[in-house]
Chains A and B, each alone.
Chain A
Amino acid sequence: DAKTTQPTSMDCAEGRAANLPCNHSTISGNEYVYWYRQIHSQGPQYIIHGLKNNETNEMASLIITEDRKSSTLILPHATLRDTAVYYCIVRVLNRDDKIIFGKGTRLHILP
Chain B
Amino acid sequence: ETGVTQTPRHLVMGMTNKKSLKCEQHLGHNAMYWYKQSAKKPLELMFVYNFKEQTENNSVPSRFSPECPNSSHLFLHLHTLQPEDSALYLCASSQGLGGIRNEQFFGPGTRLTVL
Contacts and interface: CB of A to CB of B under 8 A. Distances in A.
Interface size classification for chain A: 20 to 34
Contacts of A101: 42-44
A15 B82 CA distance: 45
Contacts of B105: 46
Interface residues of B, number: 26
B103 A97 contact: no
B45 A2 contact: no
Interface of A: 2, 32, 34, 41-46, 49, 51, 87, 93-104
Interface of B: 2, 4, 31, 42-45, 48, 55-56, 90-92, 94, 97-100, 102-109
A25 B105 CA distance: 27
Contacts of B97: 95-97
Contacts of B55: 95-96
Contacts of A95: 55, 97-98
Nearest to B91: A43
A32 B99 CA distance: 10
